[in-house]
Structure 1
Amino acid sequence: MALVRTVCVYCGSGFGKNPAFKEAAQQLGTALAQAGMSLVYGGGDVGLMGTVARAVLESGGHVTGIIPDFLQARENMLDAVDETIVVPDMHTRKRLMFERSDAFVTLPGGIGTLEELVEQLTWAQLGRHKKPVVLVSVDDFWAPLLGLFDHMRDHGFIRDGLDLSYLVAKDAAAVVPLLQAAGHEPDGRAEELVVTKM
């Protein structure tokens, strides 16, 4: 297992109603930078995504933002990051975020955050990568989703041999130790995920 050096963080473009979510984003960004882990994220300066990116930068860490051109204004692209990659669409954004990351961490967020998380869980389930996926369940935010996973298992839709691979952190302080313990498989390649159209 190789060390986790670059972490993709999925999270909301809003703050949510619980102040603990913003605190967790701040804490996570600071912890990543202090551990020498770079951030890959969606490129915006709004909500939790802006908070985690600014926290990494303020602590001397490296940040790569990947944003589709149509979201540059809507998500107020953060110009202070070390590297900004503007892409033509969401599919390219997600592929590059995958390629550039050793692990994935999901803070609270909405349907877009959920979609990004579930995609990584699906790819791992299908053997496309072995990178760690961490859900940060601040104030049990992800408990309903974890309950749904159990419901799917109970009904036979998540079967032996196709189980989901994820870690759960109850707070942001637990994330870096989890990633350091987990490491990552360095052989995950996005090329394997490309579907050739005939």
Structure 2
Amino acid sequence: LVEMGGVFEECDELIITQDLREQKAVMAARSDAFVGLPGGFGTLEEMMERLTLKQLGFHHKPIIFINTKQVYQPLFDFFEHLYRENFADSSCRELYYIAPDALDAIDRLERD
């Protein structure tokens, strides 16, 4: 990303990693929670990885999807399909929180 100009020049700290896998590991280790803002495939991939790792017991950090403008609603509908068809246990609903907006996500994080 550095070579591509994808670095915010005014950041407080810059950590350069060898690859995306290392970058994700560093971010996960330094995180208190995982918050998915509306985004694309990269955001979705990272949130699904965090969700899977929590399901397997590798971490117990809060996972919050910010569902602004219902952007993630088709994903949550798919989750419900997985629960109905017994591809995922309905207890997995407890692994994440769906926030309608950023303020609700902040409130939830402050309570946890």
Output the TM-score relative to the length of structure 2.
0.93
Q: What is the distance in 1 between the residues matched to 2:30 and 2:6?
A: 22
**Cα distance in 1 for residues equivalent to 2:90 and 2:82:** 12
CA RMSD of aligned residues (A): 1.3
- Given the alignment of the two structures, is residue 80 of structure 1 paired with residue 17 of structure 2, yes or no? no
Give the 5 Å matches for 1:45-64.
none
Q: 1:7-49, CA deviations, whole angstroms, 9 ceiling, x for partnerless residues?
A: xxxxxxxxxxxxxxxxxxxxxxxxxxxxxxxxxxxxxxxxxxx
Alignment partner, residue 100 of structure 1? 30
Identity %: 37
2:111 is the alignment partner of 1:181: yes
Deviation at 1:175, TM superposition (A): 1.4
Note closer, same or farther for the CA distance 1:149–1:141 as it changes in structure 2 (3 Å cut). same
Residue aligning to 1:141: 71
Verify the 8 A CA contact 2:83 2:90 in the aligned structure 1: no
Q: 1:75 Cα deviation (Å)?
A: 5.2
* Counterpart-to-counterpart distance in 2, 1:118 and 1:134: 11
Listed as ranges, the gaps of 5+ residues in structure 2 are: none
Hey, what's the Cα distance between the residues in 2 that align with 1:171 and 1:110?
A: 17
TM superposition score normalised by structure 1: 0.54
Report the residue type matching 1:93 in the other structure. Q
Match of 1:153 in 2: 83
1:110 pairs with 2:28: no
Counting strand residues as a fraction of each chain, which structure ranks higher?
Answer: 1
Q: Matches of 1:78 and 1:95 in 2, distance apart?
A: 20
**Shift, 1:170, TM fit:** 0.5
